[in-house]
Chain A
Amino acid sequence: MTTHRIRSAFYFLIFLMAVWLPAAQAELALNLSEGVTEFSRDVYQLHMIVLWICVAIGVVVFGAMIYSIAKHRKSKGNKPAQFSHSTKAEVIWTIIPIIILIVMAFPATRVLIKMEDPKDMDMTIKITGYQWKWRYDYLDEGFGFLSTLDRKSNLARQPDSGIDPETVPNYLLDVDNPLVVPVNTKIRFLLTADDVIHSWWVPALGWKRDAIPGFINQAWTEILKPGVYRGQCAELCGKDHGFMPVVVKAVSKEEYRQWVAQMKGEQVQQAKMDQKTWSKADLMAKGQEIFETQCASCHQKNGQGMPPAFPSLVDSATVKGSLEGLIHTVKFGRPGTAMSAFGNILTDSDLAAVVTYVRNAFGQRDDTVQPQDVAAVTQS
């Protein structure tokens, strides 16, 4: 009997080691990250307090159970006691949990109040969720940009891509344009969405908040340490929910000022792009690039889509029909479907390029669309 028990315990140990040793070797993250803001550190503390309280309760309750299972068995000739209640015991184990809960509630309340008190902010960034990308608008500086899954991850994540995700740096957690912010600065975030509900989450900042169409939510952060912090959309938002990462690059205040100046310069360049007349070859090249980053996740690279949710563009009536109608669809979207209004997120020259590309590649129409043509189409 005893040797049998020892042998089973030995097998169990081997099983545990087989499961956990590889995990330990890889130094896996098992726990919440402490993060890089005061709030995230508070949350980490709170998490650890509650976790250890639960462990302590578990030790007591499971300990009593294990003792009872070992001692109070019929095979040991135990005669069952016949008690069926004890008011004293029941009062005690109602009052002790109440005290424990009050002990937890105090720090939780303090941290929550701090989080929900966004005053004396130094700057404001508006975050808009789209299927499946983020837009960041620096409201104090007057510029903004889109942030989508980077090209390498996007190639590797295609079914049967043949690319091993392990070879892609920061697989699924990298973007083309990260959100750049200064450290030691109180930043107010205003969150909303254009199509469905998304949720903006960077674990190192300590919170996530939903981006909801028709609502503007508020949250704030003050990052204490320069670095690159990665997260993901946390609210199911459709087909590519798993492929809209968030990357925050926290830099020194000086570096941030330089970056803002550079972005403003690019904005001037961008405005010039919308004024000039483009050659067809340039439009097609730029259009294909934009199509592949913005449109191909639904309509597919070959334009054939995934009907019925994502219609095929090849020889479609809209693509072949009036140029104005096609521009209208791309610029203002199709309400009630996944086709969002790209006029909100792309410049006129980008729209001109992508419409030209779609028209020629999938509609077999030899047309060129200029930024001015896009500007002329209005919502009505």
Chain B
Amino acid sequence: MSHATTHEHDHHDEKPKGFVKRWLLTTNHKDIGTLYLIFALIMFFIGGAMALIIRLELFQPGLQFVQPDFFNQLTTVHALAMIFGAVMPAFVGLANWMIPMMIGAPDMALPRMNNWSFWIMPFAFAILLSTFFMDGGAPAAGWTMYPPLVLQGGKNVAFMVFAIHLMGISSIMGAINIIATVLNMRAPGMDFLKMPLFVWTWLITAFLLIAVMPVLAGAVTMILTDHYFGTSFFNAAGGGDPVLYQHIFWFFGHPEVYILILPAFGVISEIIPAFARKPLFGYTAMVYATASIAFLSFIVWAHHMFTVGMPLGGELFFMYATMLIAIPTGVKIFNWVSTMWQGAMTFEAPMLWAIAFVVLFTIGGFSGIMLAIAPADFQYHDTYFVVAHFHYVLVTGAVFAIIAAVYYWLPKWTGHMYDEKLAKWHFWLSVISVNVLFFPQHFLGLAGMPRRIPDYATQFVEFNMISSIGAFVFGFSQLLFVYLVWKTAKGGEKASSRVWKGAKGLEWTVPSPAPHHTFQDNAPVNDADLAHGSAH
């Protein structure tokens, strides 16, 4: 290949001209990554706006702003938009940008499919969000779509199911692409146990996606036929079983929560060593822990259903299996802390977000252990304690990791350094307000406030008020983030190719901004450039 090297360099920065060719017809992993990230950001604000209307209504008791039915539509679509529209596409965007650069590949293995899997998403969400403007409104049965309630929906059932089918197709194609890329496109010398953890966690996530997205598609298809074609999969009066749906849904749903968090683990495992200037502690243990979490995620689904009336044996099995997840997750937390230990840390924005991730995700993990205890779950289930738990793992977990990743790699993408002072403002405003927002929800749940209610008894007033104030500060602080990213894309201090002194990995060997095409010559990788170059 070496004879082609000089020739290839001339084409590195050749971007297609015109909006249609550059963005609509693109097969470039970096442009598709950008599209995914922008789409995720837009959905984050749409879902966030819904959350703010919810918190506005809950600011005080009584109904002031929305009708109960519209409230239920908001909670339902807020969750669908955030899970399928914001967090998942954001991680796919990061994967698109970074995986080829991290493993020394010129692009994703299946670039045309890559284009298609992105461009399905705007249509899927246009369909889902259009239901707000229809007779009868948007789906209102919760993102879990439990029958028989979901079957009482009007026209929105068909639109919701079709939108979920499209999202599923997009996710499966994205996952196939990532697996094909990681298995086939690694540069010579990039062995499996030299891959960055972000690549490892995404590879495992991609297998989870392929395993469970078809399960969700099956579940919602049965809802579709129950609603329109007179079948009775979940209709007790016709001999069906409403609990069967919950088993199928959570067989998808539990691996899904790891789909949302495993790539976050990968991001944090890249950032902490870079800013501690020290190798990641226990690299192989991290890989095995990720794989164990993925395996366990398939055998714990019914812990979401402890109150449906399972036999004792079932409750015990799912309780024990769920508690086991604490072990590999604990290994990860301990390894991150050990990576920091005796390092030479600096605290630029990516590191701040990563440290906040470790602390706050661990708090979400603690409430997770509490929820695993089946008899105690008879109290916690379906209360604000659960709401607090999953927002700690998804907002201060997944979303914080995404923001950390953006600050970490933004100079590589744009060629400019972001404004560190403004980024610190963004961090401190967010990290304080997010705790004001979600921490009191633990108390609300323990004191007896059920989730998904538009109005509440008067003993819950104070904490709801505090939580709503936190929500508004957190929500509006994110506008700072948009401004920061926009400002960095426009200009700013030039970034060097290494950007962060302690960072390792192939992405830091290419110039900043990364040329439109990278690693076309497929040269063997140099162990010294890798974070995990020598065998561990």
A and B form one complex: yes
Q: Which residues of A contact B (CB under 8 A)?
A: 15, 19, 22-23, 26, 28-33, 39-40, 42-43, 46-47, 50-51, 54, 57-58, 61-62, 64-65, 68-69, 72-75, 78-86, 89-90, 93-94, 97-98, 101, 104-105, 108-109, 111-113, 115-116, 156-161, 163-166, 170-173, 191, 195-197, 199, 201, 203, 206-210, 212-215, 217-218, 231-243, 306-309, 335-338
Contacts A/B (CB < 8 Å), 5 sampled: A30-B447, A111-B375, A116-B311, A171-B458, A197-B149
Cβ of B382 within 8 Å of any chain A Cβ, yes or no, is yes
Residues of A near B511 (CB, < 8 A) are none
Q: What is the size, in residues, of chain B's interface with A at 8 Å between Cβ atoms?
A: 101
Cβ of B452 within 8 Å of any chain A Cβ, yes or no, is yes
The reply to whether A61 and B376 form a contact with Cβ atoms under 8 Å apart is no
Q: Determine how close the nearest CB of chain B comes to the CB of A163; give it in whole angstroms.
A: 8
Residues of B near A235 (CB, < 8 A) are 146, 382
Complex: how many Å from CA A165 to CA B458?
7
Cβ of B342 within 8 Å of any chain A Cβ, yes or no, is yes
Complex: how many Å from CA A155 to CA B396?
39
Complex: how many Å from CA A111 to CA B68?
37
Q: Contacts A46-B376, A47-B376 given; 9 further ones with Cβ under 8 A?
A: A28-B459, A29-B447, A72-B340, A85-B283, A113-B312, A199-B382, A212-B243, A238-B72, A336-B152
| Given known A-B contacts A207-B378, A237-B149, A93 and B330 have beta carbons under 8 A apart | yes
- Residue from the list A54, A165, A234 in contact with B61, Cβ < 8 A: A165
Cβ of B214 within 8 Å of any chain A Cβ, yes or no, is no
- B150-162 interface mask toward A, CB cutoff 8 Å, 1 = contact, 0 = none? 0110100000000
Residues of A near B376 (CB, < 8 A) are 43, 46-47, 50, 108
The reply to whether A33 and B448 form a contact with Cβ atoms under 8 Å apart is yes
- Residue from the list A80, A207, A217 in contact with B343, Cβ < 8 A: A80
Residues of B near A32 (CB, < 8 A) are 379, 446
Residues of B near A73 (CB, < 8 A) are 344-347
Chain A's closest residue to B242 (CB) is: A212
The reply to whether B446 and A29 form a contact with Cβ atoms under 8 Å apart is yes
The reply to whether A94 and B331 form a contact with Cβ atoms under 8 Å apart is yes
- Residue from the list B241, B312, B454, B502 in contact with A112, Cβ < 8 A: B312
- Residue from the list A74, A79, A172 in contact with B457, Cβ < 8 A: A172
Q: Which residues of B contact A (CB under 8 A)?
A: 61-64, 67-69, 72, 135-136, 140-142, 146, 148-149, 151-152, 154, 236-237, 240-243, 276-285, 307-309, 311-312, 315-316, 319-320, 323-324, 326-327, 330-331, 333-334, 337-338, 340-347, 355, 358-359, 362-363, 366, 369-370, 373-376, 378-379, 381-383, 432, 436, 443, 446-448, 450-459, 461-463, 466, 502, 536
Q: Determine how close the nearest CB of chain A comes to the CB of B153; give it in whole angstroms.
A: 8
Q: Determine how close the nearest CB of chain B comes to the CB of A310; give it in whole angstroms.
A: 9
Residues of B near A86 (CB, < 8 A) are 282, 338
Chain A's closest residue to B373 (CB) is: A108
Residues of B near A81 (CB, < 8 A) are 278, 341-343
Complex: how many Å from CA A113 to CA B311?
10
Chain B's closest residue to A309 (CB) is: B136
The reply to whether A43 and B63 form a contact with Cβ atoms under 8 Å apart is no
The reply to whether B278 and A206 form a contact with Cβ atoms under 8 Å apart is no
| Given known A-B contacts A238-B149, A309-B152, A173 and B457 have beta carbons under 8 A apart | yes
- Residue from the list B333, B450, B459 in contact with A29, Cβ < 8 A: B459
Residues of A near B502 (CB, < 8 A) are 80
Residues of A near B463 (CB, < 8 A) are 23, 28
The reply to whether A241 and B72 form a contact with Cβ atoms under 8 Å apart is yes
Complex: how many Å from CA A172 to CA B136?
26
The reply to whether B309 and A68 form a contact with Cβ atoms under 8 Å apart is no
Complex: how many Å from CA A197 to CA B374?
20
Residues of B near A40 (CB, < 8 A) are 379
Residues of A near B67 (CB, < 8 A) are 159
Complex: how many Å from CA A94 to CA B323?
13
Residues of A near B135 (CB, < 8 A) are 307-308
The reply to whether B334 and A236 form a contact with Cβ atoms under 8 Å apart is no
Chain B's closest residue to A78 (CB) is: B344
The reply to whether B315 and A116 form a contact with Cβ atoms under 8 Å apart is yes
- Residue from the list A30, A115, A209 in contact with B375, Cβ < 8 A: A115
| Given known A-B contacts A28-B443, A85-B281, A239-B72, A196 and B148 have beta carbons under 8 A apart | yes
Complex: how many Å from CA A93 to CA B332?
10
Q: Determine how close the nearest CB of chain A comes to the CB of B96; give it in whole angstroms.
A: 29
Q: Determine how close the nearest CB of chain A comes to the CB of B112; give it in whole angstroms.
A: 40
| Given known A-B contacts A158-B63, A238-B149, A47 and B379 have beta carbons under 8 A apart | yes
The reply to whether B381 and A208 form a contact with Cβ atoms under 8 Å apart is yes
| Given known A-B contacts A116-B315, A238-B152, A214 and B242 have beta carbons under 8 A apart | yes
Residues of A near B451 (CB, < 8 A) are 236
The reply to whether B443 and A157 form a contact with Cβ atoms under 8 Å apart is no
The reply to whether B154 and A309 form a contact with Cβ atoms under 8 Å apart is yes
Residues of A near B455 (CB, < 8 A) are 157, 165, 172, 242-243
The reply to whether B334 and A93 form a contact with Cβ atoms under 8 Å apart is yes
Residues of B near A215 (CB, < 8 A) are 236, 242-243, 309
The reply to whether B243 and A84 form a contact with Cβ atoms under 8 Å apart is no
The reply to whether A72 and B343 form a contact with Cβ atoms under 8 Å apart is yes
Complex: how many Å from CA A111 to CA B316?
11
The reply to whether B450 and A201 form a contact with Cβ atoms under 8 Å apart is yes
Residues of B near A79 (CB, < 8 A) are 344
